[in-house]
Structure formats: structure tokens, C-alpha cells
Structure 1
Amino acid sequence: MSGTYAESGAGRGGMSGARGDATPDGAGDARLGDGAIAPVAANERIESLDFIRGIAVMGILAANIVGFGQPFLAYLYPAAFLTEHGAASEWMWIAQFVLVDGKMRGLFTLLFGAGLYLFMERVWARGGTRWRQMWRLAVLLVFGLVHFFLMWAGDILFYYAAIGFLVVPCLRWGVKAQLWTGLVGYVFGALLYAAALSFPFAVVETAAGETGDLAELREEMLADQERQLADDAVISEFKLSGDYAGLVAYRVREEWFVPLANLAVFVFETLPLMFLGVALYRLGFFSGAFDARRMRFWGWTGVIAGGLMHFGIGLFVREGGFAFYTVQAAFIGWSPLPRLAMVLGLAALMVEYSPRWTGELAERVRAAGRVAFTNYLGTSLVMLFLFHGWGLGLFGALDRPQLYVVVVLAWAAMLLWSKPWLERYRYGPLEWLWRSLTYGRLFAMKR
């Protein structure tokens, strides 16, 4: 994921009942009689939002794990692995591409948009203005920069906050305008990505680039591929050697522009999805206001149809030998439209089925979602210790199946700590910090 995220007290009748928090920090506010601010009670939350966010924060690690444990480009390009990437790993690449890549980010983005509106509902109810939201996003933007330069080059907090600044002025638009802006904007972005990434694929990976003027361009693109791999090797050497200070200095000196580049690349996906999240929240999608049978039908239709299209793209990539510009085209250029079908389908199915998932495991997933901000950044910190040379030094040592074992262990840790913590405390540690910085006051942590 080159580059956050963002869930039963409301019944199927709509949003007029109790409400929860769809924001990344996962804890809501309520106005008390004396004007104080307090967290939303457990029975007042929209539990589908907590559940979706819990699944997403766990799934996002499955997407990121290759970039943590292997060179960053290995996330897309199997040839960049420092270990063998055999046939079994190739099929795992396809499975991750179909089931995980981009879908967890998409779910987070929908929920982030919903959270922007939900937060403003509370602010407006207290007579506040959008400047509270703007300040909140500014704080998140700083979190993102710290995350990028000190922990994880695949940060998405920075560009979520930056794009959120564009959404906030539009929160009072009509819901239809927000919905159509999201849908039309997403399709436009998908077509733009397809055109931009299909051209290098055609030049480098097909016969079109072997003759005429394109032959020279092909050589330039191949040279750029080698430059990218060489730059990635420099980063890998810092991680292998344990020179953490050198890595941070290199990022500040040579990669200061990457957060801005990610913003430019992902704005045509992220901005429309945030608008869709706002519109779906206002329409009651997350609280069960939609017809249950239609939610199941369209949910399964989106997941199956989008999944089959992803699978076809994955087979094409495998047949082409996972070539550099082919995998880039597959991830960024060809998958956005089937990805939208899967993201909306998954969201619909989770909203529809999550009220029935009431066992211990489901409750722990919801708890992980309520402290998703801490789990997201905390995972980066743990992976820093596991893989860098100054820690356990596992960078480049684990193949793809072994990296997935690390994912399962990290999932277990998320599920084990989140629920007991929330039984004693109102917020996760970083949720508390973000909230306190947002309001300029220290909130009580203990229940």
C-alpha cells in the first residue's frame, strides 16, 4: 500500500437513533448536560463501522507485510524479493491481489469519509464550525509525516488528511451531489489510471515498443526501472545494516517529496471514495437503512464479479512473468473499477451480516476497530523492530508464506490486547492523543 483508513445501536430504520464513530480514532463524543465532552456509550455505537474498521486494519497488514519484510518494490514486483519467490508464492501473490490489495484501503477511505461527516454532525450540534475539523486533519497530517519519515514509507495518513481538507468544505452539499461526485469522479480517475499505466506497459512489455520512436522510449523506461530498483536497494541496505539514523536522514534528504507524490497519485481514487463514504453515511447505509435482501444481492454480486475480474488480471500478470510494468499496470491501472465493486460489495456484506456475528471473536474484531489508529501505527512500530537490523534483523530473510505467518501472529496480538484495553480505558493510546490534541484538553482515560 504505497501510501489510513477509517465502525449497533442504530436500528434498520436509519440514522435517527444512536450513533457511533466512523473516524480512524474510533471513539465518539456526546454532549452532556453540563457541556462536557464524553465518549459515546458502547450501546450507542454503530457497530458495523467498528467491525468494518477492525477487518480493514487487520487486512491492511496483510497488504503491507511484503513491503515491511522485503524491499519496498517487492510489494508489487516479486523479482525484488531477496528470497526465492516460487510457484506457491506466485499464487499467493494472485490471492493477495484478488482479496486484499486496495480493498482494505478502499474500506478505510469510505469510513474516513463517513467519519468526516459524523464528526461535523457533533460539532454543528454544539454550535461549532468546520475549523475544528480542519485542525483535527492538520494534526493527522503531522502524524502521517512522522509515520512516513520514522516508521513506514507506505503511510497513507498524510494524504488522507490532505484530501480531507478538500472534502470538508463540501460536507453541506446535497447527498445526491456528493454521491454523484464520488461515482463520476471515481470512474474518471479509473480511466485516467488505466490510460497512464497502460502506455508504459504497451511500450515495454509488448511488441509495440520494439520499433520506431518507441524503441528509444522503451530503453529509457527500462533504465528508469533499474534506477527504481537501485534506489530501493539503498533503502534495503540501511535496513539490513541497522543504520536507522542513516535511513531517516536518507528519507528526509532524498525522499521528502514522496508523501506529495502519493497524494498526487491517489487523489483520483481517495477523493471520490471519501465523497461516497459521506453520501452512504447520510443515506443510512452503515446503519442498516437499506433493504437487507438487496444489500446481500448487490454485496455478493460486487464481491464475486470484482473478484473474478481481479483473478483474470492476476492470471494475465502471471502469464507475463510478473514483469515490472505489467504489475504496475495491474495494481494501479487496470484494477480500480473491479476494486470499487469489491469495496462496496464487502462494505454491504459486512453491514448486513455483522449484527449476526456476536461471538467472542467478532467482539474482539470490533474492539480492534475501535482502536484502529493505535493498531495501524503500532503495527508499523512492531514491524520496524522485527525486520530492521537494529532489532531482530528479519528483513529479507522471510519468504512470502513466512511473512503471512507474521501477519497471523500480529492479528492475534491485535485481537488479544484491544478488548481488554477497552474494558479498562475509554480510548486507545493514540486515539486519546489525537482527541486531546484536537480539542486542546486532556481527556480522562480510565473508565
Structure 2
Amino acid sequence: MGGRITALDVLRGVAILGTLGSNIWIFTHPQGAMGFLLDFGSDFGADVGDTVDSLLQMLTNGKFLGLLSIMFGIGLAIQHDSAVRRGQRWPGWYLWRSALLLFEGLLHYVLIFEFDVLMFYAIVSVLVAFLVGCGSRVQSGWMIAMGAVNLAVVGLITVALLTGGSTVGDPALALATDSWWSGVQDRIEYFGAFRAEGFLVLPLSTVLFLAGARLYKAGALEDSDRGARIQRRLVVWGLGVGVPLNVLTTVAGPDWFAVDRYLCAPLVAFGLLGGITALVNRMRPEPGLVRGGVTAVGRSALSCYIAQNVIASVLCYQWGLGLAQRFGHLGAVFAVGTWLVISALLVLGASWWMRRFPRGPVETLWDKAYRAPQRRRPAAVL
């Protein structure tokens, strides 16, 4: 597969902006992260406003994180193919990439956002790096095993919620938003609690990484007859089956939170992959304003992922402008409005930057850190 894949950056951009669409409800809730989790889905049907909030949350909950996981798997497969073409050892220096991503995720978690995903992507990438070069039977075996573990985890969580033995959120873990430093201290003190979900979904992330790698190698992103067939199947199963199931779990209430987020949402993510790829492949080659902006976000995905959480924190938290305390009661109006503002800032900022530089700012620093230990001084000439 030669040349740059047209849909790849668009998919990354959509995943980043969609992830913001999921996290924005956390930032804009007057009681912060735990307030959002405690309220999640509990007021469906109470009145029109609450029902609209629940349905809008359903649109983003878990789906774009699932798409982002698939995209990481695709990126890993591209790195593997590049190494094979160049005759380089694998995983070789890719493991240094994973170490850098882990460190970056740790900093992002401690300093900015308690629900960072980069740390767990780094952990999963190490395992998948060793599997991506294996045969299809080995990969299928791992996907089946990890899928079974994910089903068991989802089943246990759902039983606990249905029997009243647990809740989605824990009011004792309220994160301080009146002081940035207090938030940092809370994230360090409650590291295990805030990182628990990430460890629970490591099996699911492994499945999505491997699925992304296999779809890439199968030609799912190609603008070809083979690619179009795969894209149609992804849309039929992901959107045709996943969306109705997702609606059912949303209507069923918060007790079905785990099924909604860890089973239905990933299925919809595959539908988004197929639908967006098919749409992009049928567009004219020259990108318009919207597609060009989303592409710029995708090319600077790490920078935009971190930037969106920084901007949202400054806008919403009390140590910043404190807008969540003042306008959080408006629910969807405030959440969607904040998402639109931050998305516009990301698109404009990324477009401006990528017209002038080959990489995003974080990507540039990351690339320097990745290449630094690989440099070797030339041997002295005697």
C-alpha cells in the first residue's frame, strides 16, 4: 500500500474531536468527573432536557475512544510494515516509542486529566507489537481470548450494577477543581481509583489494536473494490447492528453502563471506521475547509488530544474561568456549545500550524526524544 492513505488522517481527526465530545460532559458538569458519573443515564426519561442529555451522551460514549484504539492498531501495523520493508529488527526501537508514550501519558494524567488513555495504549502497544508480525491464527487466538476476558469483565460489572452492589461513580473521589495543584495531588493520591477503568479495558484495547492492524493489512482503508467491500460490511455490522443495541442499553438505564461502553460502543466504532473511510474515498481529492481542518487535527493528533483537555480545564474548572459552576446547569446547551468552541479552536490552530510545520508541537518534541538515543557518533578515523 504505497503513498499516504487519504482517510487515515481524517479518521484520526474525527476520533480526537469525538473523544472530546465524550469528555466534554465531564468538564462541563458542575460537580466534575464524579458528578457526571453518578448522574450518567440516571435521569433518562425524567423530562425532555434530561432525555436529550442522555441521548447526546450516547452518541459519543466509548465510540470514539474505540475508534482511536483501532487507529492506534492501524498505526502500529504501518510501523511494522515500514520496518519490514527497511529490513529493520522488529519490534526494536518501537518499544522505545511505547516507553515515550507511557511517560507522556503519565505526565498528561498527573498534570491535566484523570482519564488519560495514552498510558494504557502504551502498555497494549508493547504486547501487540510482538503479535502484529505473527500469523493470523496466533492473532485470532489472542483476540478470542482477550474478547472472552472482556465479556467476563462486562458481565461481572453488569451483575454488580443490577444487584445494587455498586455504582458507576464514587462520590468519595470528588476531584478538586478550585486549585490546579490540588487536582494534581488528588490524581496522585487516587491513582489506583482513577486508573482502574484503563486496566479493566486492557483486554478490549488489545482486541481493538489487533483488529485495526488486521483491517489495515486486509485493505480496509483502500480506495478499491476490496476496500469498498470491507467498508460496507463494517457499516452494516457496526452501524446497522451496533447502533440499535446502543439505543437499547441507553434506554435500559445506567445499570447497563458496561454493556453500553465496552460492547456496543466498540461495535459502533467499526461502523464509523467503515463509513468515514467510504465517504472520504468518494470525495474529490482536494479537501475542503472542514475536511482540511479535520485532517490537520489528525496529523497533529497527540498535540490536539492534550490541547483539548488543557483548554477544557481552563474554561470549565474553578481554577480557570469556572464556567462549569456558572453554566453547567444548562446541560446539553453548555456542553455542546463548549465542544463546538474547543473543536473550532483545535481545527483553526491545527490548520495554521500544519501549514507551517511538518508535525504538531508535541509530535515534534516526541520525535526528537525518539531519535535522540538512536544517534551514534561516527567511529574515530585513525
For Structure 1 versus Structure 2, the TM-score category normalised by the shorter chain is 0.7 to 0.9
Answering whether residue 83 of structure 2 is matched by residue 147 of structure 1, we say: no
Which of 15, 34, 37 is matched with 1:73 structurally? 34
Contact 2:173–2:190 (8 Å) recurs in 1: no
Write out per-residue CA displacement over residues 182-238 of structure 1, whole angstroms, 9 at most, x where no aligned residue: 3x245414421332122212321xxxxxxxxxxxxx5xx5xxx59921322xx2xx3
What letter matches 2:267 in structure 1?
Answer: A
Aligned equivalents of 1:251 and 1:297: distance in 2?
42
User: Once the two structures are aligned, what percentage of the paired residues are identical?
Assistant: 24
Which residue number corresponds to residue 396 of structure 1?
A: 325
Aligned equivalents of 1:124 and 1:439: distance in 2?
19
Instruction: Normalising by structure 2, report the TM-score.
Output: 0.87
Which of 139, 147, 164 is matched with 1:178 structurally? 139
Which residue number corresponds to residue 60 of structure 1?
A: 19
Aligned equivalents of 1:88 and 1:383: distance in 2?
23
Write out per-residue CA displacement over residues 83-106 of structure 1, whole angstroms, 9 at most, x where no aligned residue: xx9531332212321x21111011
Contact 2:250–2:260 (8 Å) recurs in 1: no
Contact 1:73–1:80 (8 Å) recurs in 2: no
Answering whether residue 244 of structure 2 is matched by residue 346 of structure 1, we say: no
How far off its partner does 1:262 sit?
Answer: 3.2
How far off its partner does 1:340 sit?
Answer: 3.3
Write out per-residue CA displacement over residues 110-136 of structure 1, whole angstroms, 9 at most, x where no aligned residue: 110111121132234344332311111
Contact 2:221–2:277 (8 Å) recurs in 1: yes
Answering whether residue 249 of structure 2 is matched by residue 313 of structure 1, we say: yes
Which residue number corresponds to residue 92 of structure 2?
A: 131
What letter matches 1:333 in structure 2?
Answer: V
Aligned equivalents of 1:52 and 1:441: distance in 2?
31
Contact 1:190–1:333 (8 Å) recurs in 2: no
How far off its partner does 1:109 sit?
Answer: 0.6
Aligned equivalents of 1:113 and 1:293: distance in 2?
21
Which residue number corresponds to residue 356 of structure 2?
A: 424
Which residue number corresponds to residue 369 of structure 2?
A: 437
What letter matches 2:358 in structure 1?
Answer: R
What letter matches 1:196 in structure 2?
Answer: L
Instruction: Normalising by structure 1, report the TM-score.
Output: 0.75
CA pair 255-375 structure 1, distance change in 2 beyond 3 A = same
How far off its partner does 1:153 sit?
Answer: 0.5
How far off its partner does 1:156 sit?
Answer: 0.4
Which residue number corresponds to residue 298 of structure 2?
A: 369
What letter matches 1:188 in structure 2?
Answer: A
What letter matches 1:425 in structure 2?
Answer: F
Helix, strand or coil at the partner of 2:318: coil
Which residue number corresponds to residue 73 of structure 2?
A: 113
Helix, strand or coil at the partner of 2:163: helix
Aligned equivalents of 2:140 and 2:38: distance in 1?
35
Aligned equivalents of 2:187 and 2:61: distance in 1?
25
Answering whether residue 206 of structure 2 is matched by residue 274 of structure 1, we say: no
Helix, strand or coil at the partner of 1:424: coil
When structure 1 is superposed on structure 2, of 295-304 and 127-136 the one drifting more is 295-304
Helix, strand or coil at the partner of 1:391: coil
Which residue number corresponds to residue 118 of structure 2?
A: 157
Write out per-residue CA displacement over residues 365-413 of structure 1, whole angstroms, 9 at most, x where no aligned residue: 1111111111100111111211222221223332322121000111111
Write out per-residue CA displacement over residues 298-320 of structure 1, whole angstroms, 9 at most, x where no aligned residue: 41442132111111111121xxx
Which residue number corresponds to residue 380 of structure 2?
A: none
CA pair 259-316 structure 1, distance change in 2 beyond 3 A = closer
Helix, strand or coil at the partner of 2:92: helix
Q: RMSD in angstroms over aligned alpha carbons?
A: 2.6
Write out per-residue CA displacement over residues 4-44 of structure 1, whole angstroms, 9 at most, x where no aligned residue: xxxxxxxxxxx2x22xxxxxxxxxxxxxxxxxxxxxxxxxx
Aligned equivalents of 1:409 and 1:139: distance in 2?
31
Which residue number corresponds to residue 10 of structure 1?
A: none
Aligned equivalents of 1:270 and 1:226: distance in 2?
20
Aligned equivalents of 1:388 and 1:203: distance in 2?
35
Contact 1:300–1:349 (8 Å) recurs in 2: no
Across the two proteins, how many residue pairs are aligned to each other? 362
Aligned equivalents of 1:119 and 1:434: distance in 2?
16
Which residue number corresponds to residue 378 of structure 2?
A: none
Contact 1:46–1:286 (8 Å) recurs in 2: yes
Aligned equivalents of 1:385 and 1:339: distance in 2?
29
Helix, strand or coil at the partner of 1:368: helix
Which residue number corresponds to residue 246 of structure 1?
A: 182
Which of 232, 250, 254 is matched with 1:296 structurally? 232
Which residue number corresponds to residue 282 of structure 2?
A: 356
When structure 1 is superposed on structure 2, of 407-416 and 393-402 the one drifting more is 393-402
Which residue number corresponds to residue 172 of structure 2?
A: 230
Which residue number corresponds to residue 381 of structure 1?
A: 310
Helix, strand or coil at the partner of 1:278: helix
